[in-house]
């Protein structure tokens, strides 16, 4: 049993003052349940739900950086690494494959780390850490993109580096 469960268990089943039955103490949690956010309270204590079950849901306007477009772009980037890797194995080092690897791999890693930050450091719970880590990731991605550019133009290139490392 975790300590959180041990500490909250007596509060959940404490007896009420006016009766001798054991009842759960959930009065403070009723307002925070997810189903009660859509209700409206009138002055006399009654509630109502706006709209009816037969009305259509109004959808938000489409945005190109959210939803399925963003998911499609991520998958396109991931899938594009497969033929790029095959082409570099078959053909060998080439400036075009070095260019594509130098762009696609940092963006692919950026999207992956951004998902980690979004999932494990949400802005609603950790606003400062989320902002710092997001901007740190952006700075790191730009630095890696510049480093890949410099390495591809002034050195042997990414494909040749992997080839030399593989045979070392």
Known binding residues: 108, 120
d(CA 110, CA 117): 10
b/e sequence 101-132, b meaning 16+ C-beta within 10 Å = bbebbbeeebeebeeebeeebeeeeeeeebee
- Residue 72 CA to residue 94 CA, distance in Å, equals 28
In the 8-state DSSP scheme, what is residue 33? S
Give the residue ranges of the annotated binding site for a ubiquinone: 120
> Distance between CA atoms of 160 and 168, rounded to whole angstroms?
12
Q: Which residues are annotated as part of the binding site for heme b?
A: 108
- For residue 54 the two structure tokens come to 């037969």
Residue 70 CA to residue 141 CA, distance in Å, equals 18
């Amino acid at each position: 049993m975790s300590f959180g469960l041990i500490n909250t268990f007596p509060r959940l089943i404490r007896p009420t003052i006016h009766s001798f039955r054991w009842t759960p103490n959930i009065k403070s949690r009723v307002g925070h349940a997810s189903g009660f956010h859509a209700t409206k309270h009138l002055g006399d204590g009654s509630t109502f739900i706006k709209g009816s079950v037969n009305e259509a849901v109004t959808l938000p306007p489409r945005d190109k950086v959210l939803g399925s477009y963003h998911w499609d772009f991520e998958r396109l980037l991931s899938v594009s690494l497969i033929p790029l890797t095959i082409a570099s194995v078959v053909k060998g080092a080439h400036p075009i494959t070095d260019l594509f690897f130098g762009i696609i791999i940092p963006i692919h890693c950026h999207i992956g780390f951004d998902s980690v930050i979004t999932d494990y450091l949400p802005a609603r719970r950790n606003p400062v850490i989320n902002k710092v880590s997001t901007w740190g990731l952006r700075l790191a991605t730009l630095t890696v993109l510049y480093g890949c550019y410099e390495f591809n133009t002034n050195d042997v290139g990414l494909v040749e580096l992997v080839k030399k490392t593989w045979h070392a």
